[in-house]
A = this chain, B = another copy of it.
Amino acid sequence: MPRRGQPTGPTGPVLGRALRLLDAFDAQRRELTLSELARRADMPLSTAHRLMNEFCAWGAVERTDKGLYRIGLRLWELGSLAPRGPGLRETALPFLEDLSLITRENVQLAVREGTEVVFVERIAGSGAVPVLTRVGGRFALTATGVGLVLLAHAPAEVQEEVLGSPIDRFTPKTVTDASQLRRMLADTRAKGFSVSDRQVTMDSLSVGAPIRDRHGEVVAAVSLVVRHGSTTPQALARLVRTSAQTISRALSA
């Protein structure tokens, strides 16, 4: 008679475990095998298998013809109901296009989520400097043009949390000193735009401006990313601020 396994208890709520599986997906790994999923979520294969089957049945994930798992359309559909405004992306898009046509540079639209910036839309300028970010991607609040804007207008407790923790460095020019960063944030609030000079990569510069809802609260930020040295921050600031202003007005309508 075969020895049957002795179940060792699970260690937490089911849903949490299941959702950890979805965390395994990111921009680099859009298609994963069951084994990879189980490994990355740190759970037995059989458990992962059962859970993924349920996700599959609902349409949260689907299987490729090769048996790999990937995020399903149902999830995308649900995600598009998320309140990035409401209607922030749709409202802003035409104006971002205008900005892109005029400058032929990279245009970015982002919101804050906790202590990170999330990129909501991005238009690549033809022949512009390449940027690291991706729609749906996250980044530190402290480095980018949009990040500085969003941090400058974030609630005090968020600012404290960000400034109180070690600050990520991406280049030699990245500002990692809290008090210097505080001055930059004050400057951003005073001038109405932010400048990130070679803080993300050594050949890029970005200028961001705040987008406000009808109550005047900052809900998003727009930025231009250009090659360092190709123009002055002030010239960009005029364009970006104007665009941000226009989008704010459209949002309130």
Partner of A75, one of B57, B72, B75: B75
The answer to whether residues A77 and B118 also contact, given A70-B83, A82-B71 and a CB cut-off of 8 A, is yes
Q: Is B81 within 8 A of A25, CB to CB?
A: yes
B residues within 8 A CB of A16?
A: 54, 57-58
User: Within the assembled complex, what's the spacing in Å between the Cα atoms of A143 and B135?
Assistant: 32
A129 interface residue, CB < 8 Å from B?
A: no
A113 at the interface (CB under 8 A from B): yes
Which of chain B's residues has its CB closest to A13's CB? B54
Measured between beta carbons, the chain B residues less than 8 angstroms from A74 are 113
The 8 Å CB contact of A136, one of B19, B26, B77, is B77
Closest to A57 in B: B16
Report B-chain residues with C-beta under 8 Å of the C-beta of A54: 13, 15-16, 19
Question: A43 at interface (Cβ–Cβ under 8 A)?
Answer: no
Q: Of A30, A57, A75, A97, which is in contact with the most chain B CB atoms at under 10 Å from its CB? A: A75
**Bound Cα distance A78, B22 (Å):** 8
Contact in complex: A19, B73 (CB < 8 Å):
no
B27 to A81, Cβ gap below 8 A?
A: yes
Residue interface mask A6-47, B partner, CB < 8 A = 1: 000000011110110010011100110000000000000000
Interface residue? A251 (CB, 8 A): no
In the complex, 27 of the A-B residue pairs with CB atoms within 8 angstroms, ordered by the A residue number, are A14-B15, A15-B51, A15-B54, A15-B58, A16-B54, A16-B57, A19-B54, A25-B78, A25-B81, A27-B81, A30-B83, A30-B86, A71-B82, A71-B83, A75-B78, A75-B79, A75-B82, A76-B80, A76-B84, A76-B136, A79-B79, A79-B80, A79-B136, A80-B136, A81-B136, A90-B135, A93-B123
